[in-house]
Each structure stands twice: as C-alpha cells, then as structure tokens.
Chains A and B, each alone.
Chain A
C-alpha cells in the first residue's frame, strides 16, 4: 500500500464531456430544482444536480397516498408531478445558473414525440450540462408498455433523441428487466454518451386490515438502502458490457456506499433517498470519498473506477 499522500486528492471527473468537480450528484426527484435546499446544501460543493423530471406539459401527479416506508427503503408513486418544460426554463433554471455545478435535466414523455419535443426545447439553452432520459415511462402509443423494458422501443427512443440534441445524453435505465446489459448496449448503440442506473424497482405494499394497497397507485418505485445490492450488481454488469461512462445510484447513504458503485464501474454516483434521511448526505459523501482517497494513498478518484477484483 502506498504511503498516505499529503497532496489533496483529485475528485474531478470528466463524465461524457461534462466536467464534474467531484463524482457526487443528486438523483432526479429527490432534490427538486435545488431551491428547497438553499439554506442546507451549498450547490457549489456538489459535482452536479440532476433535476426532477421535466415533461412537455405540466403533470399533476398521482392522488395520495403517494409514499410508503418499507424496511430500509420506501415506495413512491408520485406520478412524475412537475410544472412542465416552459415553467422549468422560466422559473427553475435561472436559480440553478447561480451555481458552479453541473445541471443535468431529467426528461420524459408519454410518447416518443413528446420526449423529442422536450429535448429540442432544452437543446442549446445555456446552463444545461446534459440530459438524463427517464425511459421508465409507459408509451401510450404502444398500449402503455414501458419504453425501458422493451429493447426496440429503448433504441428507437434514444436514437430519436440523439438526432434531436447535441447535449450529452445519459440514458437512465430501468432495473425491471431481465438483462440490464441488453439495454445498456442498446443505449450505447443509439448514441448515448452515458448511462445512469438504477431507477426504482417496482414494488407494492398492502394494508392487511383494510385489504388495500398502501399506495393510491397500487404499485410504486422502491428506493433506499434495500435496493443497493441490486443496483451495484447492475452497474457492475452494465460497466462490463459498454464503454460509455455510468452514473451509479440506488440506496447510497455514505461514501462507502458510493465507493461500492465506483469500484463496480461507475464514474460518478447520484444520491437520492438519502436526502430525505439526512439533508446533508451529499456533502458527507463528498467528504467521505476525499477522506478515503487520502487514507488509502490514492491520488485521483478516477483510478478507482471499475477496479473491483471480480
């Protein structure tokens, strides 16, 4: 083992052409558009912010109950509530421009055309570093089959988006598939610059006295520490099947959790549910990674990417 270095470790990452000062980002849907954390987290200290998903038109979201706590996690069926791309551009993005942090906009739609329309609206807008494409949405033109669970639909969607924008394009993969590597390769083949995974696992909880689902939507997305082993496994599998870089996420609470993903093959990580558990979680993860590098005598975080001996 190398002697403990006295040089400050280099946490910077070049992710798909986006310069990140450190590998820690906030996961979409867990940090709003940054303003709510104004007095809590200095966004300048984060590698980047992935904002709550933006759609072409405003979406109201699902009726409550929208959330339910589960062992080491939670289910959510928020329903993609957001004010729409126009309000995002006029009211939300200006605040984020005040900070020296990457702003990645998560986008989605209910048809391929809607996805493309949102991407076109965001293309060449200053202050946006990249787009993260939420492919875990039902395609209403195909009977509601989720894009991200069908390879052809995934490839067609991402190819269309590739044509629509020059921004770095990151495909957020769904874990609710049999073989994540098939989808990872489809995204790479379609021209994506990077991947992010995993999105939430589909789950359900039932109130046994009332005999009803706990969520108004019946099913919802499971997040939090409970899903971390699944997420780490999928990042590892995906990283071995593509060359494009990966943002790893799924139940990261501490720096050690983040490092699991990095060793598995992620070049950057996103912290989500942890923001509800400890609003300072992102900052703790940044500091913790830095301390780890120092203790292990490692000069750059980059050299850890994919270094699990498996």
Chain B
C-alpha cells in the first residue's frame, strides 16, 4: 500500500503498488482486495479502479460501508495486502464521434475517473449525484472530472449543492441543453434505482446505455455464482465475469427494483 488517507467527504483514497495489475487495467475493471493479512474478514472486497499511476500503481476510492471497509481504513501505508485483478470486462471504448455521458451516483464515480483520463479522444459530460453535499465525491475527484469533461453537472437530493433533485432529473436538462444528443452514449454507475432510471431514460430516447453493476462477491473469479444479477433474457449473469459493465438492456430492471424495495 503506497498511499492511504482520508480524501474528504468520508472517502478514503488508496494507492497500491502492483505493476502487473496496473499494466493490464482498463476503465470499468475492478479488483478484489483482502483488507487484512489474515483470515478476518475471510473474503476480499471489490473496488473499482479509479486510476493507473505511472503504469506501476492503481488508485482506489472507497467509503466505510461495513466491517471490511472499516478494517481497511485502519491499514497504514507501507503494509502489504493481497489483491486479485484486474477483474471484469471494463467499459466499451467510446467511439470518437460520440459524447459519453458519465452518470455517477453516490460512490459510483471512481471508474469514471479512470474512463475520463484513459479515453482521450472524447470529452465527456459528467453528471454527479448524491443525497447531499456531504456525500459528494471529494473535491479533488470533481476537479479531475472538470479537467477532462465538457461539462460537470452536480445534483443533490436535498439541494445542499448543485441542483436540487435526482441525477435523472438532471438528465432531462442535459439532454435539452445541447444539440449533440444524437451523439450521446450513457454510462451509469451508482445505486440500482438511479441506474434503472438512467436506463429507462436512455431507452425512451434511443440512447445507448452501459451500466456498471455491483453485487456482494465472494470469489471474484466466476466460480461461486454469488454475484449474479437478473438478466432480461431470463436467468442470471455474473458481475465478475460477464460484467461488471452490461448493456442496460441486458438487465432485468424489474427484479432489481423489487429487490431494492425490499430494503
């Protein structure tokens, strides 16, 4: 662990020196990181890669959401941790005549940091949403988006920063405020409800849409079948193998919403 520290807004930023991994990493891929050097907790945790640094290290951002991330937050720089990756299919590379619209809700923004620095032939529109100002990505991350984006839109549910409302309300404004809608390609990463709404919006307007799904994971290798998400074609697809990035039409959003509503 080369660097590890609080990044603001409740996020931690960590840099792992892992040359082979960094060299192979693509935007949209993730890693399974063991958060201690023993068997507690027993399973590794998945984190989306937010940057590759000098082809030697990968950067991750995370919040404390449970036991594993809580333990990770106490690990000091200089320690060695086991990491498996890069895992998954990554985002499809955007064609240079397209305008990627990166829709990041809550803690879904890290893979888009990688997307925006890696794909340099396009200039994305970035739409960031959070419950409130205190849950937005750290200032440094938003700054990085501003360096690469055509425009960055911010929406908070409670209006404490940016525009009041959901990310998907913002999409209507974004869509209306430009003559380039025909070149839009949506990429969404965040809470299920947000992605379902983004997918529905995309469907209504004939916009291609790719979603980065997330589910509890055990192996990260495709063998335990734990991370499966409901597929529109019936059956399930593995987030770690067939994903994490899916064409939004591949996902059965009705079951996603049913499961979300149970919470």
A residues adjacent to B (C-beta < 8 A): 29-32, 36-37, 40, 52, 58, 60-61, 63-69, 71-74, 76, 78, 81, 210, 212, 216, 224-225, 253, 273, 275-279
Contacts and interface: CB of A to CB of B under 8 A. Distances in A.
A25 to B, nearest CB: 15
A30 B42 contact: no
Given A66-B216, A253-B39, A275-B223, 8 more contacts: A37-B221, A66-B225, A67-B224, A69-B43, A74-B43, A74-B218, A210-B262, A276-B43
B216 A64 contact: yes
A65 B216 contact: yes
Nearest to A214: B216
Nearest to B263: A210
Interface residues of B toward A: which range?
Answer: 20 to 34
10 contacts: A32-B222, A36-B222, A64-B228, A71-B40, A74-B43, A74-B218, A210-B263, A216-B259, A276-B221, A277-B42
B221 A279 contact: yes
For the complex of A and B, 6 pairs with smallest distance between CB atoms: A67-B226, A32-B223, A276-B219, A60-B235, A36-B222, A78-B225
Nearest to B67: A69
Interface of B: 39-44, 68, 82, 84, 215-230, 234-236, 241, 255, 259, 262-263
A78 B235 CA distance: 12
The main secondary structure of chain B at its interface with chain A is: loop
Nearest to B262: A212
Contacts of B82: 278
A273 B43 CA distance: 10
Contacts of B221: 36-37, 40, 275-276, 279
A68 B223 contact: no
Contacts of A71: 40
A280 B215 CA distance: 24
Given A61-B228, A64-B259, A81 B218 contact: no
Given A64-B259, A65-B216, A277 B225 contact: no
A151 B217 CA distance: 36
Contacts of B218: 67, 69, 74, 76, 276
Contacts of A273: 42
Contacts of B224: 29-30, 67, 76, 78, 276
Contacts of B259: 63-64, 216
**Residue in B219, B225, B230 whose Cβ sees the most chain A Cβ within 10 Å:** B225
A61 B236 CA distance: 8
Contact of B223 (A31, A61, A212, A277): A31
Contact of A277 (B39, B217, B234): B39
